[in-house]
Structure 1
Amino acid sequence: MDRLGLGLQVLQTYREMKKRQKNWAAVLQDGHQYDYLRDEVGSRVADRVYDIARTFPLALDIGGGKSHIAEHLTKNVVERLFLTDISQQTLKVQRQSDIPTQRVLADEEFLPFRENTFDLVLSSLTLHWINDLPGGLRQIHQVLKPDGVFIGAMVGGETLYELRCSLQLAEMEREGGFSPHVSPYTAVTDLGNLLGQAGFTMLTVDIDDVQVYYPGIMEVMTDLQGMGESNCAWNRRSMLHRDTMLAAAAIYKGQYCMSCGPSAL
C-alpha cells in the first residue's frame, strides 16, 4: 500500500472509531448524566446568538448531537435549523425545541450543502475531532452567506492537562515511556490564524474556563467515555496496564486533588 493510501485509511479509521464511540454513548440508559458539559457550553453558544440583533432564517448546527444549542434558542431568533452529526444514534435523541429542525447524518469534515446557503452556522464541542481543521473551517465559510455568522466553541488549550500529565508520569515510571492517551488540542492563537486563513473577518476569539470537578482519575475517564469523548488517536494504546492505572490514579489524587477534593477538567 502506498503512503497516500495508508494515510487515507488511517483517517477513515479514526472517523469510524469516533462514530462508534458516539453511537455507543448515545444509547446508554443513563446517558443524560454525561450531558452536563455539552449542555453548559451549548447554552453559552446560544447566548452569543442572542447577542446579535437579527433573525436568522436558516441556520446549521454542525455536530449538533442532542440539540444542545437548539434547545436554548427560539424560532424568533432562528426560523429553521439543519442539525448534522456523524452519529445516527445521537440524531435519534430529540429534545424539546420549537424550531423546525431537519436532522442530517453527515460527517463534519464533508458538509453536504451548497455554497452561500446558511445565515448562521453553529458548532459546539465537535471541531476538535476534525482531522483537517483548516479545511473544515473553509467549508463552514463556504456554506455561509456573505453576511452570515459563525459561532462555535471547541475544546482547546490545556484541557485535560491533569489527566494527560498523570498518565504520562505513570507510564514513564512503570513502563519507561509513554504513548498519547489524550488527544492534542488547538491553541487559541492558532485558532485565530486558522479562521483568518479560512476567509473569516471581524474575528472574536474568547477563552471560557469551564471548571468540572472530580474526586479521582477514574471518574474523569468514565465521564469522558459516557460523553463519547474517549481518545481515538491512531497511535494510541488500546489498553493500560493495571499497575500503570493505579499509579496514574495515585498521581492524580496526590498532585491535583486538594484534601481529596476534585480537580478541574
Structure 2
Amino acid sequence: MTGNNGIPQLFDISLLAQRRKRALSKYGEDGDFLLREVASDMLDRLSLVMRPFPEIVELGGHTGLLAKSLQNRKGTRRITRLEQVPDFFSGKEQGIVVDPEILPLKAGSINLLVAPLFLHWINDLPGLLLQIRQCLAPDGLLMATLLGRESLKELRQAFLVADSEITGGASPRVAPLPDLKDMGTLLQRAGFTLPVIDHDILTVRYASLFDLMQDLRRMGATNILHDRSRTMLRRDVLLRAAEIYQQEFSDPDGRIRASFQILSLSGWAPDESQQKPLKPGSARISLTSVLGDKSRQQ
C-alpha cells in the first residue's frame, strides 16, 4: 500500500494506537515491561549529558513513563508529549494529539526530543528524522530507541515454517524492522551531527509461545502490518508454530527464548560550538613525528 505522498505504508499506525490504548486500559503502564526497561536505559544515558534541556518533547511514549521521569531533571522547564490519541494523557500533562508522521513543532524550538520504542513503526522514517532535526534548536539532541531487525526472530521463523507446512504459503506476521547499519546513514542524511548508534539483545524466557504472545498484547505490539491477514489465525497453524518454537528455541528446562534487539541512537542538531574533524592536511604535527618513521626501522 502507498500513501498520498508516495511512501509505502507498511504499518497501520491508527491500529497501533487502538492496540496501545486497549493494552493501557486493561493492564496499565506496568503492562509494558520492555518500555520500562528502555526508559531506564535512556535515563542512564541522559545522566551522562551534563547540560540542561529546558524544552523537552516525548514522541510516542504512550504511557508517559519517560516524560514523568524527565520532569525532575535539573534544568527542565517544560515537557510536551506528542501522542496519537488523548487517552494516553492524564492529569495536567502538557500534551498534543498528532499524526506522528507530521510534527506540529516550530523550527528550532526544542532542546531534547526523546522517542522510546516508537520510531520503528513509522512508515516514512527518513522524513520524520528530518522533521525532528528541523524542530531541534542548535545543539539540540534526539535520543531514541527502536526495535531492531533481530527482534522476535524465533517467532518469525516458527510461523514461517508452520504456515509453509500447513497452508503452503506464508503470511506476514512479524513486522520488518530497521537494521542497525541503516540507522547511522539515516541520521546523517537527516542532517544530524555526532550520531551514535548501538544495540543490545534482550533475551526473555517464556513457558510457551502463548505466554510470549500474551506479553506482546500487553504491550500493544501485535501485528499492525497493512498486508497482514484479515482472517483469524488458524488454530492448527498456531499449534504447529508453538510446537516448532518449543523444538527449536527452548532451553534444557523447557522454557523458550524470545530475542528483542534494542537499537539506541542519538544525534545532535548542528551548532558552531560542536567539535569538528580537522580538514585533511590541516594538522600542525605530522603523524610520522609522533610515531617515528617506521619505514626506516629494521
When normalised by structure 1's length, the TM-score is 0.89
Q: Which entry has the higher C-alpha Rg, 1 or 2?
A: 2
1:45 aligns with 2:42: yes
Distance of 1:45 and 1:164 partners within structure 2: 28
- The structure with the largest strand share of the pair is 2
1:255 aligns with 2:252: no
1:219 aligns with 2:211: yes
Q: Per-residue CA shift, 1:95-141, capped at 9, x if unaligned?
A: xxxxx951221122111111101011111100011010001101110
Deviation at 1:62, TM superposition (A): 0.6
Structure 2: stretches of 5+ with no match in the other structure: 260-298
When normalised by structure 2's length, the TM-score is 0.80
1:264 aligns with 2:258: yes
| 8 A contact 2:20–2:62 mirrored in 1 | no
Aligned residue for 1:55, secondary structure, equals: coil
- For residues 43 and 71 of structure 1, do their structure 2 counterparts lie closer, same or farther at Cα, with a shift above 3 Å needed? farther
| 8 A contact 1:91–1:105 mirrored in 2 | no
Structure 1 stretch 63-72 or stretch 115-124: which is displaced more?
63-72
- The structure with the largest helix share of the pair is 1
Distance of 2:176 and 2:227 partners within structure 1: 12
- For residues 4 and 208 of structure 1, do their structure 2 counterparts lie closer, same or farther at Cα, with a shift above 3 Å needed? closer
1:31 aligns with 2:28: yes
- The match for 2:270 is none
- What is the letter of the counterpart of residue 87 of structure 2? Q
| 8 A contact 1:162–1:256 mirrored in 2 | yes
- What is the letter of the counterpart of residue 106 of structure 1? V
- What is the letter of the counterpart of residue 211 of structure 1? T
Distance of 1:186 and 1:106 partners within structure 2: 23
Distance of 2:5 and 2:107 partners within structure 1: 31
Distance of 1:42 and 1:146 partners within structure 2: 25
- The match for 1:64 is 61
RMSD: 2.1
- What is the letter of the counterpart of residue 163 of structure 1? L
- For residues 247 and 27 of structure 1, do their structure 2 counterparts lie closer, same or farther at Cα, with a shift above 3 Å needed? same
- The match for 1:97 is none
| 8 A contact 1:25–1:227 mirrored in 2 | yes
Aligned residue for 2:41, secondary structure, equals: helix
- The match for 2:150 is 158
Matched pairs, number? 255
After TM superposition, list the pairs within 5 Å mapping 1:1-12 onto structure 2: 11=9
- For residues 12 and 219 of structure 1, do their structure 2 counterparts lie closer, same or farther at Cα, with a shift above 3 Å needed? closer
Deviation at 1:7, TM superposition (A): 6.8
- For residues 7 and 141 of structure 1, do their structure 2 counterparts lie closer, same or farther at Cα, with a shift above 3 Å needed? closer
Aligned residue for 2:195, secondary structure, equals: coil
- The match for 2:164 is 172
